[in-house]
Each structure stands twice: as structure tokens, then as C-alpha cells.
Chains A and B, each alone.
Chain A
Amino acid sequence: MRHQLNLPTALMGLVMFMLIWQVLAWIVQRPILPAPIVVLPIFLQTIFQDLGIHFLASTGRVLAAILIAVISAVPIGLILGQMPKLDRVMAPLIAVTYPIPKIVLLPVIYVFMGITDISKIFLIALIIFFQILVVVRDEAANLHPELILSVRSLGAGRRALFRYVYLPASLPAVVTALRLSVGTAIAVLFIAEQSLTTYGLGYYIVVETYQVLRYPQMYAGILAMSLLGLLLYFCISGLESHICRYQKG
């Protein structure tokens, strides 16, 4: 499941991607597909100017959402995983709400939480929240009963079990859930940023460039958004292989 994306592989992929893009641009010959040799200089220039600000705005929103999702979903997941009775009560609700595409709640969230950054962050956090909640719950529920018993025999009560068993046991699952959900989170962010804000890559790509036909700039925005996804994926993967190092027997 974990195919390591290391630096040489990433560079290789990048070169191949650019080559295909260049060839396609030559074939298509239309303003909607500018060549990378046109886009890259614009990207490198604007990323230190206005594009950089939009990039930081989007990054900030994603990171805030991840933080909120992790600190709320992990304890709830642990509690549900450790309390089968409560879990049985909550399971139907989670099963029904988990697959809802959270983006449809965007207008509702706007009305309730106002047209601020909080609404957008809340929406992305919601997506990551469910993903983490479900894996942490299952991870906590699937721990070997013998493991729990033998740690309890060492004198561990509920608090120590949380600290020394449940929390470290669910950490790898949290990171895996993050890796799987961060792509969706960025996709939803892209949509959420297209309206009711003046910062963020979604706004930059759709409102500032696409709608006024600045295609090369639009591609620079797309590159920035791809970079955001790639960087987050890299960081999470790195964290994952660090946390999961005990699993390599």
C-alpha cells in the first residue's frame, strides 16, 4: 500500500510530466494550453508575489483544518473504539453521515458560520474528521484483548491505557487516514475558495485568471495547487514511515 515516493522518483515523474505537457501544447496550439516553457517562468516569478500569498492562504486553511480534525476526531474515535456499547449506538449515525459528500453542506455552513475563513476550514475539517474518526475507532476496537489485559496487569487503568496503548496504537492509522483524505480536502478547498473570498488558490485560478482569460497565469495557479498537494503528501508519507518504522520486521 505504501509505495515510497522518494526524491529521484519525484524528479523523474516531474520531467516526464513536463515533456508530455510540452508535446501536447505543440500539438494543440491553442491559448487554453500554453507550453510549460511559457508557464514555468511565470510560476517562478509570481510564486514570490501575489500567487505566493494565495498559496499561503490555501496552505493555512488546509493545515488549520487538519489540526482541528485530528484533535477532535482522535479522542472521539478512541472513546468509541473502547466503549463498544456507545459505539453500537453511534455506529448507524456515523455509517450514514460518513459517505455524504461534505461539499454539499457548504451553503448550510455559510449560513450558520458566516462568510469567513472559519466556514471553509470547517468544511475541510469535516471531511478529514470522518476519515480519521472511522479508522481510529476501528483501530482501537481491534486491539488484541490479550495486549490490553497484560498492560492492565501492569497496573494500567483507563488513563494509562489511553496514553500508552490506545494513542500510540492509533497514531499510524491517523496518519494513513490523513494521507488518504488530504487529496479530497484540497479538491473541496478548491471549490470552496471560488467564492466569498479574495484569497486562496481556488480564487486565483478561477476568478483572477480563468475568468479573465489569463491562461498562463491560471496554469501557474494550477501548478501551485499541485505543489500544495504534493508537499502535503510528502510530509504525511514521511511522518507515516517514521511512525510505522516498527512494522518493518
Chain B
Amino acid sequence: MINIHKIQFAYAGGSPVFDGFSWQIAHGDAWAVIGPSGCGKTSLLYLLTGLHQPQRGQIRIEEKPITAPRPRSGLVLQDHGLLPWSTVYENARLGLTVRGFYGSDGRHAPVDEELTMHEADQRVQYWLEKLSIQHLRSQYPSQLSRGQRQRTAIARTLAMQPDLLMLDEPFSALDAPTRRDLQRLILDLGVKSQLTTIIVTHDIEVAVTMGKRILALDLDGNQQVRIIENDGACNTDYRYQSQFRDQCDYLHDILGDLL
């Protein structure tokens, strides 16, 4: 589904974050990307979304080169990017509102999707209920807890029915029950709707829980990619099995000093 071919990317004045980096992602894969801060985890999501462009090399999703945000790619950033002046409902609807603003032109919205106002409202409503934030619909982001803001951002992305869901540190700063709830929800989505997921984290346990395959990034430009197969993931009972601990220990060994 995604093919990253020998990309080079550096921020102005910095040394390359990616230097000849290649990576393939198959449809329906559940990936976790782990690495020390500054290794380019978030930059990788920006590149995949089309918000940043590589200086060299190419990223293709479904054979199409990525030069601008793609309507079917969903991104949830670490600070959620909610509009402070809009309610939970308005925020969750924003993606569909933007689509309605442009019409289904294939660039800003998928060509094959023509939603009426009512259908858009219903879809947002569905996700608010599914994420249990329906009762907060008239609240502003400043009135929400971190977990509730996270859910709002996820609802906003899911309402756009993405086929690729990218989450940047989705579980950091969440309390344990909220974290488990949200993990279960995302795992569920991956299984039920054949969603390709990429979860960026610096937390080994999160990576081992959420990623069937784990990409470990480094600070050296990532010419050599390290991929750890982790078949037991995407199952909430996995964390109680000995294999889970073994995988965590293994990741600790190869990343230990860096994290």
C-alpha cells in the first residue's frame, strides 16, 4: 500500500533525519514506530501525510506519489490540533466540513464521496457515541481532559473514513484505564475495518502491544531499517503472556541506551 523509496529529508540547517530511508507497508498492517526523540518519528508521519516533502526519493501510497495531504489518510497529532474556539462536535465534524467546503474534487475530498449535511452529522454523531464523548459535544477543548481531547481528535479523523490511520504518541499522558480503553478501540478498528495503522511512540510496551511489526528508528539517518516481527500484538491479552515480556526485553536491548 505504501512504498517509501530511498528518501532523504532534513530540516533547514539540520543534518538529515532520513538519508536513503526505504520502507514498505502492506494494506491492513498494524505498525508501531519506535525510537529516541529526534529520530524522525513525527517527521515520518508528516512525510507520509504529505505535509512535508522529501528532498530526494519518493513516497507512494496506492501507487500515487504523495505531494499533498491525501483525503483517505488520517493523522492524529500529539497535541491533537483541535480548534480552541470550536466545540467537541464542531471539531469532530471539521474534516467533513472542510470536505463540504471544497466539494468532492479528489484533491481535498475523495471523488466517490458525496455526503449530505445530514449524513455528515450522522457520521460524526456515530463516532462521538462510539468513542463515548457524545455527552461532551457542546464543550470546548479547554474544558476537556487530555484523554477526551484525544478522543475528539480521533473522532474527527475517523469520521473521514480513512484507510490509513496515523497516530503520534496517542497514549502518552493518559491514565492507565483510559489508555487501555483507547488501545482496545484502535485494535478493534484495525481488525474490523481493515484499517492500516501506524502508531508512533517512544514507549516500548505501547509498541509491543500495538504493532504487529515494529520499525525501530535511530539517530543516524536510518539508511538501514530495523524491523521487529511481533505477531502476538493487536490482542489485549498479549500483555499477560511471557512472549510479550520477551519482546519488550528484546526492544530494550537494541534501543535501551537511546530511549
Task: Please give the residue numbers on chain A whose beta carbons come within 8 Å of chain B beta carbons, in ascending order.
Answer: 144, 146-147, 149-157, 159-160, 163-165, 168-169, 171-172, 245-249
Residue of B nearest to A155 (CB): B108
Q: Mask for B153-180, Cβ within 8 A of A = 1, else 0?
A: 1001100100000000000000000000
Closest CB in chain B relative to A198 CB, distance in Å: 45
In the complex, chain B residues 188-210 whose Cβ is within 8 Å of any chain A Cβ: none
* From B46, B97, B140, contact of A246 by CB (8 A): B140
Number of A-B contacts (CB under 8 A): 85
Scoring A150, A156, A160, A164 by chain B CB atoms within 10 A of each residue's CB, the highest score goes to A150
Residue of A nearest to B94 (CB): A154
* Complex-state Cα separation, A186 to B88, whole angstroms: 40
Whether B102 lies near A157 (C-beta < 8 A) is yes
Whether B98 lies near A164 (C-beta < 8 A) is yes
* Residues of chain A lying within 8 A (CB to CB) of residue B108: 155-157, 160
Whether A150 lies near B142 (C-beta < 8 A) is no
Residue of B nearest to A149 (CB): B51
Q: Quick one: given A150-B77, A246-B85, are A155 and B51 in contact (CB under 8 Å)?
A: no
Whether A153 lies near B51 (C-beta < 8 A) is yes
* Complex-state Cα separation, A171 to B86, whole angstroms: 13
Closest CB in chain B relative to A242 CB, distance in Å: 12
Whether A154 lies near B98 (C-beta < 8 A) is yes
26 residue pairs of the A-B complex, CB under 8 angstroms, read: A144-B81, A146-B79, A147-B79, A147-B82, A147-B83, A149-B46, A150-B75, A150-B77, A150-B81, A153-B69, A153-B74, A153-B77, A154-B69, A154-B157, A155-B99, A155-B107, A157-B102, A159-B101, A160-B98, A164-B94, A164-B97, A168-B83, A169-B85, A172-B85, A246-B140, A247-B84
Residue of B nearest to A169 (CB): B85
Whether A149 lies near B77 (C-beta < 8 A) is yes
* Residues of chain B lying within 8 A (CB to CB) of residue A164: 83, 94, 97-98, 101
